[in-house]
Chain A
């Protein structure tokens, strides 16, 4: 049971996408890359909005390659909400052929009271919710989400993100979620695919993708490390949550007592500094005891220090000068300084304003 994506797609204009992927046909697969990496093109090929004889799309043994987009059993949202401007919200929802679950979709995406409005009279977040509801109405075997949060401002993102997380968890259908921001999907992705310049440079479960990549990632996509942690306590006076990783702790802003457990946090490599001893007199709250496992140069002249923290991989991006000054050698015990703000359990999936 899987989604096979295999082949080459080279539209006129020089861009070329070439992949050979076998994705699980359940859970949330997140395709991550900077703009121009081909992630939206990959999604369009799955949807049939782009087709090529040299690119094969197969779900659970069914070859979709020759099916036009309107015959593929997919639900999809595009980067723009793409509501029909001459129809009301209700009109847009009713326009789905064979659409079912109208009332359920309306309440699930909070569209009561907006049904008679035209898209132009909606905020960006409301439009995106209507677009999600429209996709929800179509019976589908596979969901495709193309940067569902990127067109929204911070407030609208914070409101929509939990709705999207809930949707992904409860659909019972495989979801392919394309984004340029790992932080958006760190809590919900079961599988990551990292694209760069039309090639897959990493694929696998979130924890291992960052650690197991053969080549250090492009500095533009600093996936760093993804750690599994447990919520411990919440300090209301300072609005800080303490998270447990093995016997060590991390402190992050906000009340995470209601967050799902285990919780995943993303720590970008550039937000990790190294010290030989536990520093005194610093504003940085988080200091983890780690072991240096290896050193690897980055394409742009820096160094990735691969670390191990309570059995989980962590990565720091440092300069070559620092490497020399600290006389780093694999096996060394070090202290990793992590800026609290870099811990990406922030807002998006944890606790959000109503």
Chain B
């Protein structure tokens, strides 16, 4: 029983970490673009990013499952690239989590980037700093709080995933059975003692992570 919990805990942590790292690389440029572009298509892109906030996870999971099957474009290209299937694998879960948790990382970043004082952007330009370097060297450090907050939200939200994991990951121990799925299993089989342990771990880990983060941000 405790072994199941440990396996799922490790898997959940690995999934959340991989997702957070990927999102902290992908989301900042996207959020910067959203914060500063005047292009017409920007609203559509912003809506697409926010979609996981309003869609039931099962809807997203359903479409992703269809795309990840061996006959569909996503599953097929992944197979030709890596030789592995995507549906019901850890890699598939990471990909789905990136899409599902994207708004939780991109939105706080976009909000923070929009508040960049215009004179700092001007100052960097007249100092001779090119736009890409300006973003990497000055804007990311300037917005480090937003990056920390976005990273924690992305991590915590991935830990809390359930519906989308169930749709595309199933329930494979060590591969796709994360803590939330394990808890569901335990309750279904009326193993309330184990369910208590799993639920308590999720609760304590989430609360501790958030408290530590908010504490750090508050002190600065």
A interface list, Cβ under 8 A from B: 47-49, 68-71, 74-76, 78-80, 82-87, 95-98, 131, 134-135, 138, 144
Contacts and interface: CB of A to CB of B under 8 A. Distances in A.
Nearest to B119: A82
B131 A86 contact: no
A305 B10 CA distance: 89
B125 A48 contact: yes
6 contacts: A74-B126, A78-B122, A82-B122, A84-B138, A95-B137, A144-B126
B129 A70 contact: yes
B135 to A, nearest CB: 12
Contacts of B144: 86
Nearest to B120: A82
B142 A70 contact: no
Interface in B60-103: none
Contacts of A83: 123
B193 interface: no
Interface of B: 117, 119-120, 122-131, 133-134, 137-138, 141-142, 144
A86 to B, nearest CB: 5
B132 to A, nearest CB: 10
B129 to A, nearest CB: 6
A84 B120 contact: yes
Contacts, number: 62
A82 B117 contact: yes
A85 B117 CA distance: 11
Contact of A98 (B120, B126, B128): B128
Closest 3 CB pairs of A and B: A82-B123, A69-B125, A82-B119
B16 to A, nearest CB: 28
Contacts of A78: 119, 122-123, 126
B138 A69 contact: no
Contacts of B138: 84, 95
Contacts of B129: 70, 95, 97
B127 A97 contact: yes
Chain B binding surface, main DSSP class: helix
B68 to A, nearest CB: 42
A72 to B, nearest CB: 8
A140 to B, nearest CB: 9
Nearest to A91: B141
Contacts of A131: 123
Nearest to B139: A84
A131 B70 CA distance: 59
A227 B125 CA distance: 40
Nearest to B123: A82
Contacts of B131: 70
B141 to A, nearest CB: 5
B128 A80 contact: no
A343 to B, nearest CB: 35
Contacts of B130: 70
B121 to A, nearest CB: 9
B125 A49 contact: yes
Contacts of B122: 49, 69, 78, 82
A47 to B, nearest CB: 6
A138 B137 contact: no
Contacts of B119: 78-80, 82
A71 B127 CA distance: 9
B128 A96 contact: yes
Contacts of A84: 120, 123, 138, 142
Contacts of A82: 117, 119-120, 122-123
B128 to A, nearest CB: 5
Given A82-B117, A82-B119, A84-B120, A96 B127 contact: yes
Contacts of B133: 97
Contacts of A47: 125-126
Nearest to B117: A82
Contacts of A76: 126
Contacts of A70: 124-131, 134
A85 B143 CA distance: 11
A69 B142 contact: no
A134 B127 contact: yes
A138 B125 contact: no
A86 B120 CA distance: 12
Contact of B126 (A69, A85, A86, A95): A69
Contacts of B128: 70-71, 96-98, 138
B127 A95 contact: yes
Contacts of A135: 126
A86 B130 CA distance: 19
A69 B127 CA distance: 9
A80 B144 CA distance: 23
A47 B125 CA distance: 9
Contacts of B117: 82
A144 B122 CA distance: 13
A47 B127 CA distance: 11
A217 to B, nearest CB: 30
A236 to B, nearest CB: 45
Contacts of A68: 125
Of A47, A80, A98, A138, chain B has the most CB atoms within 10 Å of the CB of A80
A122 B134 CA distance: 24
